[in-house]
Amino acid sequence: MTAATGTGARRLLPSGEHAVLVECGSAEEVLGLHAALVATRPDGVVDLVPAARTVLVSVDTSRIALETASAWVARTEPAAAGSAAAEPVELPARYDGDDLAAAADALGISPDELVEAHLAATWRVAFTGFAPGFGYLVSDDWPYDVPRLASPRTRVPAGSIGLAGSYSGVYPRESPGGWQLIGRTDAVLWDAAADPPARLVPGAAVRFVRGEVGS
């Protein structure tokens, strides 16, 4: 089944007996649709999981029929970009990453220009994944496409700020990774005892600010 949208066709695909997968035309549409679904979620819709081009809608079929939920999704118009009123999450940043100079050189700009552009952008969490608390950040203010490392690192320290493609992100814990590292933050992005445990949730606005960051 398909549902027409303003930018093409939004496809709704069955995903088992308790979910429907919504294919969108762009990351921007995913953000808008996810925001609109969260704002109008009916009883019985138990989870809304955005990804790069999809939103997974999971339901409790004892409370709402999957067909009813699918019809709700099909008629929901994506929210306008920037419609969320919540204040941005501010992350203190120190720009001393191992790949800062190389990433800037690949883009044909200076390291200072890259840092200023990263600071000036208002980022949004498009979706989460890879590791608990890792948010894929996008911004209409960010014009760059940054190549990944040819050979991923086996160890990236927690708090590292990275760039890959059109995304920015912060590694919430030590892990392997292939993103270009431009800086670091002391912000805690994942706390299993907190509610919610992830500091960066889909749809949240994020700003990086210059701040004191420990060595």
State how far the Cα of 186 lies from the Cα of 161, in Å rounded to an integer: 10
φ, ψ (nearest 5 deg) of residue 66? -60, -35
For domain 89-210, give the fold.
Cyclophilin (2.40.100)
What mean pLDDT comes out for the span 163-177? Answer: 96
State how far the Cα of 199 lies from the Cα of 189, in Å rounded to an integer: 5
| Residue 151 confidence (pLDDT) | 95
| Residue 2 confidence (pLDDT) | 44
State how far the Cα of 112 lies from the Cα of 96, in Å rounded to an integer: 11
Which residues, other chains included, contact 130 with Cβ-Cβ below 8 Å and sequence gap of 6+? none
Given a cut of 90, whether residue 44 has pLDDT beyond it is yes
* Mean of all residue pLDDT scores within the chain: 90
Domain 2-75 and domain 89-210 have a common topology: no
Token pair 């929901």 in the structure block, residue: 76
**What would the two tokens of residue 75 be?**
């008629």
Instruction: Find out whether the peptide bond into 196 is cis, omega within 30 degrees of 0.
Output: yes
Q: Does domain 2-75 sit in CATH 1.10.150.120?
A: no
| Residue 26 confidence (pLDDT) | 86
> What is the value of pTM for the model shown?
0.81
Compute CA distances 106 → 110, 150, 153, 178, 200, whole Å. 10, 13, 19, 16, 29
- Stretch (H or E) spanning 155: strand 153-156
Residues pairing with 124 in the sheet: 138, 205
**What would the two tokens of residue 8 be?**
């093409």
- Parse the chain into domains and list their residue ranges: 2-75, 89-210
Is residue 175 within 8 A of residue 131, CB to CB? The reply is: yes
In tens, the pLDDT along 63-106 reads 999 999 999 999 999 987 655 556 899 999 999 999 999 999 99
